[in-house]
């Protein structure tokens, strides 16, 4: 099958289109013909080697972490899906590879595609929506009336997280550039901080939750926004020892991650704030919940641009530039 492949890690690696074996279908797998695949910052980070210590992929590696397509084959133990079903998913982290003609995915990670969405729209959803859900619903347990700051509101995760937080009844602040202020307000943000004109740390106080997707500087400054008892939840690191335990990492790696996050955990603890790192996982049942929200109109996917499969490298370069509004998608069919 045709696939977008990297042969080595590196910041200057662009990747290539080549031939790979069609994936084997295990007993609890569905084989999906890929119609469209979402493009994420995670793809860029994996390509650069940023996660090679904790995600030891075998090279050559097919990139891609979001998919929408049609089931063409099911394993012997699959009962929830049949050939012809239109589905979407974020594959398990050790079985990525949606920039390809086919992918095999565990049935527990798959959900039926929302009927109201095109394949391209559906492919933009799983990773960012599951991230928002696992931060706001699962980790923060966000309640009506609570105040949440969502950094980078015009990005893939941010644009969905704003809509989900508003659905949950929260008061939402976000950060974005001047060009996107009106746009993120239209998504539902109550307060928008134009980071080119304002410093969020000077403008916001007494928040219950911060969702951080930015760098070390913004992470540390976010502590001043939170009230005692608040939660600082980062999806961009640094990982915590708890994450290392969840991932079953070796003792040396647990120590390394403990050192990497020691400073922010100490700063947070001194303020009575809890710091968490969330690395989203595949979950078909949570995707079913998200489908319900999409069908009800509570969440609307945002797709800025659709690229042809032959333009996958260009799509990744655009994501890496940080200019993308919402999501980019690669069309396979």
Hunting for tokens 């696939």 — which residue is that? 3
Whole-prediction pTM: 0.97
Q: What's the pLDDT score for residue 161?
A: 98
Q: What's the pLDDT score for residue 324?
A: 86
Note whether 66 and 280 are within 8 A (CB): no
Q: What's the pLDDT score for residue 322?
A: 84
Token code pair at residue 133: 């859900």
Q: What's the pLDDT score for residue 275?
A: 98
Hunting for tokens 């695949």 — which residue is that? 37
Q: What's the pLDDT score for residue 253?
A: 87
- Name the stretches of the chain with pLDDT < 50: none
Return the DSSP state at 114: P
Fold of 2-123+302-331: Quinone Oxidoreductase; Chain A, domain 1 (3.90.180)
Ranges for all domains in the chain classified under CATH 3.40.50.720 = 127-277
Question: What is the Cα–Cα distance from 5 to 2, expressed in whole angstroms?
Answer: 9
Q: What's the pLDDT score for residue 45?
A: 94
Q: What's the pLDDT score for residue 17?
A: 98
Question: What is the Cα–Cα distance from 321 to 96, expressed in whole angstroms?
Answer: 23
Question: What is the Cα–Cα distance from 263 to 238, expressed in whole angstroms?
Answer: 10
Q: Kindly report, residue by residue over 214-250, the tens digit of the pLDDT.
A: 999 999 999 999 999 999 999 998 999 999 888 888 8
Ranges for all domains in the chain classified under CATH 3.90.180.10 = 2-123+302-331
* CATH of the structural domain 127-277, one choice from 3.40.50.300, 3.60.60.10, 1.10.1060.10, 3.40.50.720: 3.40.50.720
Q: Kindly report, residue by residue over 79-122, the tens digit of the pLDDT.
A: 999 999 999 999 999 999 999 999 999 999 999 999 999 999 99
Q: What's the pLDDT score for residue 266?
A: 97
Q: What's the pLDDT score for residue 53?
A: 83
Question: What is the Cα–Cα distance from 110 to 134, expressed in whole angstroms?
Answer: 16
Q: What's the pLDDT score for residue 55?
A: 85
Hunting for tokens 């951080």 — which residue is that? 212
Note whether 99 and 124 are within 8 A (CB): no
Spatial CB neighbours of 221, under 8 Å, sequence gap ≥ 6: 199, 200, 201
């Amino acid at each position: 099958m045709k696939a977008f492949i990297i042969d080595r890690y590196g910041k200057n690696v662009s990747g290539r289109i080549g031939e790979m074996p069609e994936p084997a279908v295990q007993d609890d797998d569905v084989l999906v013909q890929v119609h469209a695949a979402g493009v994420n910052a995670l793809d860029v980070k994996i390509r650069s080697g940023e996660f090679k210590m904790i995600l030891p992929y075998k090279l050559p590696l097919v990139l891609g972490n979001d998919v929408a397509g049609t089931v063409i084959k099911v394993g012997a133990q699959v009962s929830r899906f049949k050939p012809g079903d239109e589905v979407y998913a974020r594959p398990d982290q050790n079985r990525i590879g949606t920039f390809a003609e086919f992918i095999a995915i565990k049935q527990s990670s798959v959900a039926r595609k929302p009927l109201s969405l095109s394949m391209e729209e559906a492919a933009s959803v799983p990773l960012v929506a599951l991230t928002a859900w696992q931060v706001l619903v699962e980790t923060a347990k966000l309640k009506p009336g609570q105040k949440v700051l969502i950094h980078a509101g015009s990005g893939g995760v941010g644009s969905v997280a704003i809509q989900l937080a508003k659905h949950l009844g929260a008061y939402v602040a976000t950060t974005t550039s001047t060009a996107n202020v009106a746009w993120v307000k239209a998504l539902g943000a109550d307060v928008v901080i134009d980071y080119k004109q304002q410093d969020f740390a000077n403008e916001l106080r007494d928040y219950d939750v911060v969702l951080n997707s930015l760098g070390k500087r913004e992470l540390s400054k976010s502590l001043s926004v939170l009230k005692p008892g608040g939660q600082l939840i980062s999806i961009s690191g640094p990982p915590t020892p708890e994450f290392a335990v969840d991932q079953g990492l070796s003792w040396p790696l647990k120590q390394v991650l403990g050192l990497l996050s020691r400073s922010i955990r100490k700063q947070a603890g001194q303020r009575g704030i809890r710091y968490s790192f969330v690395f989203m996982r595949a979950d078909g049942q949570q995707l079913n919940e998200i489908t319900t929200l999409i069908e009800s109109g509570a969440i609307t996917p945002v797709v800025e641009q659709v690229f042809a499969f032959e333009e996958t490298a260009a799509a990744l370069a655009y994501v890496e530039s940080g200019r993308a509004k919402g999501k980019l998608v690669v069309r396979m069919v």
